[in-house]
Amino acid sequence: MWASFWQSLGEAFTIIGSGNPLMNEVVATTMKMAVTSSIISFLIGAPLGLLLATYNFKGKKVLVIICRTLMGLPPVAIGILVYLLFRGIGPFGQLRLIFTVTAMIIAQVLLITPVVVGMVETSAESTGKALLETRRGIGLGSTRTFLLMANENKYQLMAAYLFAFARATAEVGAVQIVGGNILHKTMVMTTYIALNYNTGNLEFAVALGIIIVAITLGFNLVGGVLQIIGTRKKKR
Amino acid sequence: MKIVAKKTFDRKVLDVDVQLEEHKIYALIGANGSGKSTLLKVLSSVINPDTDSSIDIPFKNDEVYYMPQMPYTFDLSVYNNIKLGIPLKYSTGEKIYCKYRIDTMLKTIDLYQLRKANAQTLSGGERQKMALIRSLVVRHNLLLLDEPTSAMDINATLKAEELIIKYKEEFDGTIIMATHSIKQAQRLADVVLFLDNGEIKEIADAQTFIDHPQSDELKDFLQKI
Ligand SMILES: Nc1ncnc2c1ncn2[C@@H]1O[C@H](COP(=O)(O)OP(=O)(O)OP(=O)(O)O)[C@@H](O)[C@H]1O
Ligand SMILES: [Mg+2]
């Protein structure tokens, strides 16, 4: 009953406190994957989102629809796609990337970039409209416009990055397929939990779960606060 | 310069065909919704005119500057907001001169002490002062001001007019400014254009407007001031 629940939780905290080497390794792999993929996604997605929010151009609607579609795809679908492309006999099989952290990062970037684009576009759209007359009227070049758009939306951009990072940490479907949850290589927190909770050590899985919840909760919380600050500033 | 401009939204808003001279200050008066802002936006390519009309002005796009009726205030200091009016291609010497001009104008219009403040903390009138200075930093062949003093008190308005006159004296560019004040038109403009329902009904100097308004619309418009 409840006693078993509290017991597992207690043991999990003991593991977190003990500095278990496997746990450090799994957390480190996760961080490597999440940091890299969220930075790449942000560097691609944020400028694209700002661009979509600033300018009207042919094909913009199509781009937005593609983004929305990708945003809604189940991660396992992206996982399978990357798997087909990078497995030994696939078109990019020569690169030998399947079941590596790099393959996991590729899948994550495909998953998270559209989310970043969508989030940045949505939050910067009002700025794009509001400064349209001024931008054209005073003849601001595209570089200046872009930098100003980024500055006007700096809190939303920070929030978008934090959400991307939290998402990368918590994602399991795609990285499980392309990473394979290999011990000492591609095992990350989520895949350990998904695949080892009943074969390995349950308390270990619970410990990892606690860490994930702490990270995603923390990042989403800070991101949410930044969004609120950004929206308040805009209302002035 | 000949200006031909048409703009239709869901109904016709602007249909202008007028001959203007360069190096003059024009005041554009007319009721709310008469098409003043629309004309200025079309002239500055902020919006496109109807496809069957060409706007025909002897200036390239970047030689025309439009100060919107409600300019956007960037999340930067007052000074950096104004500096956006300095073209990037300017040489260091030119930039230094621009900064000297900015400082002088800031002092004239009592905004100097706020130059380092974040512009989004400014009042409506202060923001308008800032946007006006930004539009007067460098010479524009055609400068379009959309009710540039509408949020200013009378003292600030007179100082702003002083800045506009100094700009004109130094650079001798053409200015078209929308205004609701025939007094302001009288103080500043060489020629006044009366816009009614998207059409220019009368053209004359301000004094003639006041003394001998021709159309009933203009009589009506002036009576209520
Ligand atoms: N984007 C738009 N879509 C539809 N109608 C518009 C649009 N912009 C302007 N209009 C209409 O065109 C008319 C002229 O507007 P404009 O802004 O030029 O007036 P104005 O003379 O500047 O008035 P004000 O003195 O209030 O500034 C108005 O009736 C307005 O409703
Ligand atoms: Mg107007």
Q: Residue A72 is part of a domain; what is its CATH number?
A: 1.10.3720.10
pLDDT tens digits along B177-204:
999 999 999 999 999 999 999 999 989 8
The answer to whether residue A144 is domain-embedded is yes
- Among A56, A131, A136, A138, the strongest candidate for a mutation testing the B interface, having the largest count of B CBs within 10 A, is A138
Q: What is the mean pLDDT of residues A93-117?
A: 95
Q: Are A151 and A46 in contact (CB under 8 A)?
A: no
Q: Residue A133: which domain range?
A: 23-235
**CA gap A178, A99 in Å, rounded:** 5
Identify the pLDDT of residue B59.
Answer: 81
pLDDT in tens, A19-70: 889 999 999 999 999 999 999 999 999 999 999 999 988 888 888 888 888 8
Q: What is the C-alpha separation between A73 and A79, in angstroms, rounded?
A: 11
Domain count, chain B: 1
Residue at A221 is within a domain = yes
Mean local confidence (pLDDT), B111-116: 97
**Do residues A40 and A109 touch, judged by C-beta distance below 8 A?**
yes
A179 pLDDT band, cuts 50/70/90, is very high
Whose atoms come closest to the Cα of B11: which ligand? 1
User: Considering only alpha carbons, which residue of chain A is nearest residue B61?
Assistant: A139
Q: Answer whether B59's CB lies under 8 Å from B220's CB.
A: no
Amino acid (one-letter) located at A127: T
The pLDDT confidence band at residue A221, using thresholds 50, 70 and 90, is: very high
Residue whose structure tokens are 């602007």: B14
Share of chain A above pLDDT 70, in %: 99
pLDDT-derived band at B54 (thresholds 50, 70, 90) equals: low
* pLDDT interval class at A236 (50, 70, 90): low
Q: What is the pLDDT of residue B112?
A: 97
Structure tokens at A168: 């990368």
Q: Calculate mean pLDDT across residues B32-48.
A: 92
* A15-40 core/surface letters (b: 16 or more CB in 10 A; e: else): bbeeebeebeebbebbbebbebbbbb
- Please state whether beta strands B191-196 and B25-29 pair in parallel, antiparallel, or not at all (unpaired): parallel
Mean pLDDT of chain A: 92
Interface contact B88-A134, CB threshold 8 A: no
Secondary structure of residue A186 in the 3-state scheme: coil
Entry pTM: 0.89
**Nearest residue of B to residue A142, measured between CA atoms:** B88
Check pLDDT > 80 for residue A212.
Answer: yes
Q: Is the pLDDT of residue B173 over 90?
A: yes
The pair of structure tokens assigned to B44 is 């500055």
B32 alpha carbon to ligand 2 midpoint, in Å?
A: 7
Q: Do B66 and A152 touch (CB under 8 A)?
A: no
Give yes or no for a contact between B72 and A130, defined as CB atoms under 8 angstroms apart.
yes
Give the model's pLDDT for residue A104.
97
The span from the CA of A227 to the CA of A25, in Å, is: 33
- Reported as a single tens digit per residue, the pLDDT across B59-108 is 877 889 999 999 999 999 999 999 999 999 999 999 999 999 999 999 99
* B219 pLDDT tier (thresholds 50, 70, 90): confident
Number of domains in chain A: 1
Pocket of ligand 1 (CB under 6 A): B 9, 13, 30, 32-38, 69
Closest by alpha carbon to A79, among A51, A107, A60? Answer: A107
Residue B18 burial class via C-beta count within 10 angstroms: exposed 0-12, middle 13-18, buried 19 and up: middle
Number of Cβ within 10 Å of residue B141's Cβ equals: 18
State whether B74 and A148 contact (CB < 8 Å): yes
Pick the atom of ligand 1 nearest to B36's CA.
21
Determine contact: A151 vs chain B, CB below 8 A: yes
Pocket probe for ligand 1: among B28, B34, B39, B43, the residue whose CB has the most ligand atoms within 8 Å is B34
Q: Quick count: other Cβ atoms within 10 Å of Cβ B158?
A: 13
Rounded Cα distance, B149 and B126, in Å: 10
What's the first-to-final CA gap in chain B, in angstroms?
A: 31
DSSP-derived 3-state class of residue A11 = helix
Which residues, including other chains, have CB under 8 Å from residue A221's CB and lie 6 or more apart?
Answer: none
Chain-wide mean pLDDT for chain B?
92
* Beta bridge partners of residue B177, listed in sequence order: B27, B145
Element (H, E) at B12: strand B12-19
pLDDT, position B2: 83
pLDDT at residue A127, rounded to an integer = 93
Higher pLDDT among residues A198 and A236, named by residue? A198
- Each residue of A108-166: pLDDT tens digit? 999 999 999 999 999 999 999 999 999 999 999 999 999 999 999 999 999 999 999 99
Provide the domain limits for residue B34: 21-202
Report the CATH number at residue B119: 3.40.50.300
Work out the angle at residue A88's Cα, subtended by the Cα atoms of residues A176 and A200, and round it to the nearest 5 degrees: 30
> Which pLDDT score, from 0 to 100, does residue A147 have?
96
Chain A residue numbers with beta carbons less than 8 Å from the beta carbon of B61 are: 139
In a domain, B208, yes or no: no
Helix (H, G, I), strand (E, B) or coil at A125: helix
Which pLDDT belongs to residue B220? 82
B120 has a chain A CB within 8 A of its CB: yes
Contacts of A136 in chain B (CB under 8 A): 44-46, 66
Rounded to an integer, the average pLDDT of B46-61 is 78
Question: In the prediction, which pLDDT does B124 show?
Answer: 95
Residues of chain B positioned with their CB less than 8 A from the CB of A134: 68, 71-72
CA of A74 to the centre of ligand 2 (A): 49
Q: What is the ipTM of this complex?
A: 0.90
Q: Is residue B177 part of a domain?
A: yes
Q: Is A134 inside a domain boundary?
A: yes
Contact of B194 with B207, CB cutoff 8 Å? no
Q: B84 — contact with chain A (CB < 8 Å)?
A: yes
Whether A60 and chain B come into contact, CB under 8 Å, resolves to: no
